Amino acid sequence: AQSVSQHNHHVILSEAASLELGCNYSYGGTVNLFWYVQYPGQHLQLLLKYFSGDPLVKGIKGFEAEFIKSKFSFNLRKPSVQWSDTAEYFCAAHGSSNTGKLIFGQGTTLQVKP
């Protein structure tokens, strides 16, 4: 079955610390991958996406993610987090046979302490 798994449910970091959030997917065939962010009281926003090509993709606000096909992973990274990065982060996947459907991971709550 198609699935997306996020390893960390709750992460607490101090400002300026580096961030890496894990995401693994289980899909057959071609897959498109996404990271979404939900800031407190706001709606889901697209952070970055991977379709093909360079496996290292850069998104908004200094975030990047690396697609590693051999590990079925799409981890999110940021070298130095800020208090304003406190949010819920969701990894999602879309397979070519899904007719548009996104499968979401469980989400990771990131709390950045000032």
Partner 1 sequence: SAVISQKPSRDICQRGTSLTIQCQVDSQVTMMFWYRQQPGQSLTLIATANQGSEATYESGFVIDKFPISRPNLTFSTLTVSNMSPEDSSIYLCSASLTGPEQYFGPGTRLTVT
Query: Contact positions toward partner 1, by CB under 8 A?
Result: 32, 34, 36, 42-46, 49, 51, 90, 94, 99-102, 104-107
Position 15, amino acid? E
Report the residue number, 90 or 112, with the smaller CB distance to partner 1: 90
Report the residue number, 21 or 105, with the smaller CB distance to partner 1: 105
Q: How far is the CB of 32 from partner 1 (least distance, A)?
A: 5
Length of the chain: 114
Q: How far is the CB of 15 from partner 1 (least distance, A)?
A: 25
Q: How far apart are CA 43 and CA 75, in angstroms?
A: 22
Q: Where are the alpha helices (DSSP H) in the chain?
A: none
Q: How far is the CB of 43 from partner 1 (least distance, A)?
A: 4
The C-alpha angle with vertex 109 and arms to 39 and 49, in degrees rounded to 5, equals 65
Report the residue number, 35 or 85, with the smaller CB distance to partner 1: 35
Q: Which two tokens stand for residue 61?
A: 């606000």
